[in-house]
Structure 1
């Protein structure tokens, strides 16, 4: 009986591996420029019929209880691959966008793909994330979302966070779960995203790096209606701080070798900068000054301008409305909110120390 059970289990695993390889073969065919031909379409439509109501394309036997790493290999990854396959199919053959079977299956698959935020299992969680991002980049996911933003708003929001997650990943210090190859792959994928961003400035424009409430798209639109979003980025050798301006406490950055601060790169006109100068109190010695700075977008260095408070200004906590705006922007762009929490805690400890 034990031998029979063992053989049955091996047969089930072999069947799952064969089905997984069939999905990968279709993905490779389309990713390498293959046609959406009759054979490919028939294969994919057969696979669509096996999608669960939840959106997953699980290769696991019905009712099977599987460990997390097995679910990643035989439930999450097949779902990522088939979602990517359908996106490539629609981009290659736009008429498929009118096919409800294709588009509804794709929407369900993309929604299901948000379940783990594209991360893998355990110690290989981040490496799994890199693999998932790579296959979606090869499937031209950014182009698909730009053309069909309403297929899965959840996935579109998740995809928006990917560059920020990669940037913080690339800035990690080496440990036994993170080596030089992982760092290089992170930077390579950031560069793939950056290749889709327009870093060409229009006449008279300059780059502005926002790290506080001006990371918010809604706020920058009010202050600078002609601002253009360019990319997320990292400001190296600085750390986030909260200091007092003339009347209240706001975000600033302090020099700190080896640290980094997440920023959003905006392209601004001279009129935009004039408005920001007034908003930030430039010219008042208790307020911000505008300085030159350089940020990193993968392997790319971008020069622009930033507003900072003097490091002589006292530490303190801003009003919750201000930090809530920052927290929302961090979440939207995939930056860990612990950076804000750490800066707030440090500011409060420094304020208390100065009062003693």
Structure 2
């Protein structure tokens, strides 16, 4: 008989193993029928769906990561989050690699082709892009990783992502969440924010389920004249209606990406910004956004900007990198061996 693999279950916030199942009472068989998968942490007091680890070493590593993310850092009123599209699909077909994953994985620009985000031919190694946006000249504290294989085809490359994600930064990740298990898989990558995008979402019910499970998930509304979903009947195509639904569900923050502008580096849609101005809630705008747009977006009340890949500023840093060699902390981790806008939008 095969020996069953032992798992260590720990709090997804602080890494404590002192957790207890949360049971919702009120039904005829409350102890059986009313478990929602959440646990209470006896140390930090928060409730969440716990993470499973294979060893005490992994638990300790996660704890140290959680502690580093909660250190006293200046709170930024306006978030500047570079979008980093990763073309991880080709890595599935590669055998054992002698080079570090950061030199093999490629950051690409993207083009929306009315149905999916296609990687363009031009690309740079992830390590080069990472150095550019995380170095002293650009100094990004947060990064939005798009796993195109996961978003387009439902095949995220977890092995590559696990090695690329760094704990010292606020990492956003869109792997193409299609169900609750994908949410769990996202957090298993040790990220700060899981991104649940409409491009892969099968229904609005998934957003409600995600909100009940975690407060570290950001809904991302992808639009091309209207909201774009995994399928046409998955949810409302009216942008304002979906924004209100998500805020009414309880989300405090959401992202909106203008797909036809994404990767063009020509600035955000004035029409979109005019339409969204005044909503009560944190909204980040993406799609064509450049560094020169930050001040205006902040003045107009938006929480932040999702910066286009390969803006002229980022390209210039990649072409003329900083003299200093990257430290160990700036290198992608390899500790784990496995594991057009509408012509008119309705008023709100």
Range of TM-score over shorter length: under 0.3
Normalising by structure 1, we get a TM-score of: 0.23
More helix by proportion, 1 or 2? 1
